[in-house]
Amino acid sequence: MDKHIIDSAKRCLQCRDPRCSAGCPVATPIKEAIQLLLSSQVEQAGNLLFSNNPLSLVCSYICHQENQCEGHCVLGRKGMPIQVSAIERYISDFYLSLFTPIPSQKSKGKIAVIGSGPAGIVVAFLLAAKDYDVTIFEGYDRIGGILRYGIPEFRLPKNILDRIAKMLVAAGVTIRPNTTIGTSIVVDELFRDGFDAVFMGTGVWRPLKLNIKGESLGHVHYAIDYLKNPNVYNLGRRVMVIGAGNVAMDVARSALRHGSREATIICRRGESSISARASEVEFAKIDGVMFEFNKIAVEITEQGVLLADSTVRSAEDGAEILEAVSGTEQLHEADSVIIAISQGPRALIVSSTEGIHVKEGGLVVTDGAGHTTRDGVFASGDVVTGAKTVVEAVKVSRLVAEAIDEYVSGKRPIKEPLLSP
């Protein structure tokens, strides 16, 4: 164990009302976990964290701790907060090395989980623990969804997802890879084949477009596609990334790690308006990523991107409208251009299933417990909220797992035990 983890744990004040837990969307029991850690009960600490959040180890790597647990630590007011992420990572990693799930008895009903991103993994774990027969249908060859195919290795080691996959199988979950629901198999066929409920955790994989001239050229790519496998791309020496979120930072830093010598991020507004985490921006700068602020891409050419100065004007209703300043266009040369302005959901399931209503942008309509407008179909995660954090998906998916349990339990009366002869 790194000494700083012990030192940080010993600094914990064991507050009566721990603000660190209050600042966490899933109320991670940090105080209790630290108590157990310092009492040489690491396995018990890991069980506590895992029971609260099956993706505790993942969250220790990619959560916005500065705005959540660590950001709420009272010690951070005048000094250094407790390094919750490092402590949680050590405990959770240790626990995953020891944990052997109790296999599901598969006695309470059949559940189809579509997608194995954060929401799907959490729902599968929780329902398997309640003795459901759970099958995950994953469109790609390995589980993880956005965790595997949208977050670079340098931010989240993929072997964590491989370990989670083994745990799911040990828990009795069936994983069916390379199976896209909405094409060869549709939701109605899942119900036909005996599934009592269907959970949609399909995420957001449809890149949003700029809708400008040149977007279809061969050297133009979308961030969500590039991050699936950067190794297959030859971006050249100079790369321009259009967008200012965490994904844009991941793309630019990945490009520099895969052969490009220059990576520039194009921001429509000033530096203070960047939506990416401050720490991710700092890491990008450390890696050598450059920034162009207050610029709008108006056209993509074979030579690069035509950028214009941006300005804000007020509409009649008071809303701010960002637009390009005519006459300020200049060509910024680039070998490749990557568009990173967010994603929306694909329509495969909705278009092949009657009764599932969506909002503007294609997001699935649900109530607070994940019920969609189609009986027996539930959803949570990015396909409902748009691109959000992993821990927010965990929070809602725990509620949805409970709702699915209540739905199926009410639909399927408990069978009377067989009488002995």
Please identify every stretch of the chain with a pLDDT value under 70, giving residue numbers as ranges: 1, 412-421
Residue 172 dihedral angles phi and psi, to the nearest 5°: 95, 5
Q: Is 69 helix (H, G, I), strand (E, B) or coil?
A: helix
Q: Smallest Cα–Cα separation from 395: which of 47, 147, 127, 27?
A: 27
Share in percent of the chain as helix, strand, coil (round to 5):
40, 20, 45
**pTM of the full structure:** 0.92
Which secondary-structure segment (H or E) carries 295? strand 295-300
Distances (CA, A) of 417 to 104, 131, 407, 414: 19, 16, 22, 9
Q: Do the bridges between strand 330-333 and strand 304-314 make them parallel or antiparallel, or are there none, so unpaired?
A: antiparallel
Q: Residue 96 and residue 54: Cα distance in Å, rounded?
A: 10
b/e string for 243-280 if b means 16 or more Cβ within 10 A?
bbbbbbbbbbbbbbebebebbbbbbbbeeeebebbeeb
> What gap in Å lies between CA 127 and CA 134, rounded to an integer?
7
Distance, first Cα to last Cα, the chain: 58
Please count the CA atoms within 13 angstroms of the CA of 106 that sit on its side-chain side: 13
With b for 16 or more beta-carbon neighbours within 10 A and e for fewer, the 19-28 pattern comes to: ebbebbbbeb
Q: How far apart are CA 263 and CA 39, in angstroms?
A: 48
pLDDT of the residue at 412: 56
Architecture in CATH for domain 110-205+344-411: 3-Layer(bba) Sandwich (3.50)
244-277: pLDDT as tens digits: 999 999 999 999 999 999 999 999 999 999 999 9
Q: Which pLDDT belongs to residue 410?
A: 87
CATH number of 209-341: 3.50.50.60
pLDDT of residue 30: 95
User: Same CATH topology for 110-205+344-411 and 209-341?
Assistant: yes
Q: What is the pLDDT of residue 420?
A: 30
The residue among 127, 179, 116 whose CA lies nearest residue 393 is 116
Q: Which of 388, 403, 418 is nearest to 146 (CA)?
A: 388
- Domain-by-domain residue ranges, the chain? 3-98, 110-205+344-411, 209-341
Asked if residue 138 lies in contact with residue 220, where contact means CB atoms within 8 angstroms, the answer is no
Instruction: For residue 34, give every residue at least 6 positions away whose Cβ sits within 8 Å of its Cβ, in sequence order, or none.
Output: 9, 12, 14, 45, 82, 87
What is the per-residue pLDDT for 1? 52
Question: How far apart, in Å, are the Cα atoms of 103 and each of 91, 134, 167, 312?
Answer: 23, 11, 10, 58
How many Å separate Cα 368 from the centre of its chain? Answer: 19
Fold of 3-98: Fumarate Reductase Iron-sulfur Protein; Chain B, domain 2 (1.10.1060)
